[in-house]
Homo-oligomer: A and B are copies of this chain.
Amino acid sequence: MDFPIGELSRRAGVLVPTVRYYEQVGLLPPAPRTEGGRRRYGQADVERLAFIRHARELGFGIEAIRELLALVAQPDRPCAEVDGIARRHLVGVERRIARLTALKTELSRMIGECGHGRVGECRVIEVLSDHGLCVDDSH
């Protein structure tokens, strides 16, 4: 119930330098130290760190996670804010998907039209050279 950073790292599945980074940016509180200056952690830190890790895996940014952690500390407040943060993130993810899907379409078309001849006649190069050859000019 009182272990060093490496153990925390293993338990939460987060690299040691990343743990220190999270402390630095304020996602984890400054850990108490041994006489020799080493950080000591407890079970609560494992849970907090696992929360952070999972949120990161779901693509939340550091700032959003900071807000989520602040809200977790106030369990009696309505969860509209939590909902809002998650929804905003979802909208961002959907936008990125839409953009990447447009890219994918354009790339596929470009590649499909390549006649596998020489660079000088390559459709891929032509399309890159002339935006007018794109179907969708959203980019």
Copies of this protein in the assembly total 2
Interface flag for A61 (CB, 8 Å): no
A90 touches B107 (CB 8 A): yes
* CB of A18 within 8 Å of the partner chain: no
Scan residues 98-139 of chain A and give those whose CB is less than 8 A from a CB of chain B.
100-101, 103-104, 106-108, 110-111, 114, 116-122, 124-125, 127-129, 131, 139
Question: What band does the interface of chain A fall in when counting residues whose beta carbon is under 8 Å from B?
Answer: 35 or more
**Using a CB–CB distance below 8 Å, which chain A residues touch chain B?**
47, 50-51, 54-55, 57-59, 68, 71-72, 74-83, 86-87, 89-90, 93-94, 96-97, 100-101, 103-104, 106-108, 110-111, 114, 116-122, 124-125, 127-129, 131, 139
